Amino acid sequence: MTADAAHDEDRDRSDGREDLPLGGYAALTAAFAASVAVFAGVARRKGVRLPDEVPPWDVALMGAAVYKTSRLLSRDKITRFVRAPFTRRGSDAPAGEILDEPRGTGVRRAVGDLVSCPFCVSVWVAGAAVASYACAPRATRLGCAGLGAVTLADWLQYAWTWTQQTTEN
């Protein structure tokens, strides 16, 4: 074992994270990569023509939609049923969100880590958005516009709440 590997192993032990489900993470990474490969193969076989470029406005629109979808999937009360097999109910967070905690071991724990983390889920959501954009850009823009509007509405809600709290103090 190299000195760097020993240091990494010691650091993992010292931060209490030696129970990380690395095999589960590898399985999820393989599933993501396989999904991308299957999409690419099917798209090619069906003659899907990829766009030559993606305008910055579409990137921003998809970014807002990916942000909101990731929050909905990983933190919303209503989508708790999706996370329930892999997480246990955590604490309530502001704006009606829930901070679920992963449970189990192996792949179950790895999926729990994935579905309870908006940053982790966003990669999968972005993959779906890009695939959708490649096949049906107009429909994807429309769906993203709706989710982008919800994102904007959320920020306006936060701004309104902040304004009320500021004027009350």
Convert the pLDDT of each residue in 130-143 to its tens digit.
999 999 999 999 99
Return the structure tokens found at 58: 């579409």
What type of residue sits at position 3? Answer: A
Specify the residue for token string 């690395």.
22
Question: Would you write out the chain's pLDDT as a tens digit for each of its 169 residues?
Answer: 555 554 454 444 445 556 899 999 999 999 999 999 999 999 999 999 999 999 999 999 999 999 999 999 999 999 999 999 999 998 888 878 899 999 999 999 999 999 999 999 999 999 999 999 999 999 999 999 999 999 999 999 999 989 998 998 7
DSSP 51: P
What type of residue sits at position 127? Answer: G
Q: CA–CA separation, 99 vs 111, rounded Å?
A: 15
Q: Could you write out the DSSP letters of every residue in 96-129?
A: GBEEEEE-SSHHHHHHHHHHT-HHHHHHHHHHHH
92 φ/ψ sector (left φ>0, alpha ψ -120 to 50, else beta): beta
pTM of the model: 0.82
Question: Which of 20, 123, 25, 33 is CA-nearest to residue 74?
Answer: 123
pLDDT on residue 3: 52
- Cα Rg, the chain, nearest whole Å: 20
pLDDT on residue 2: 53
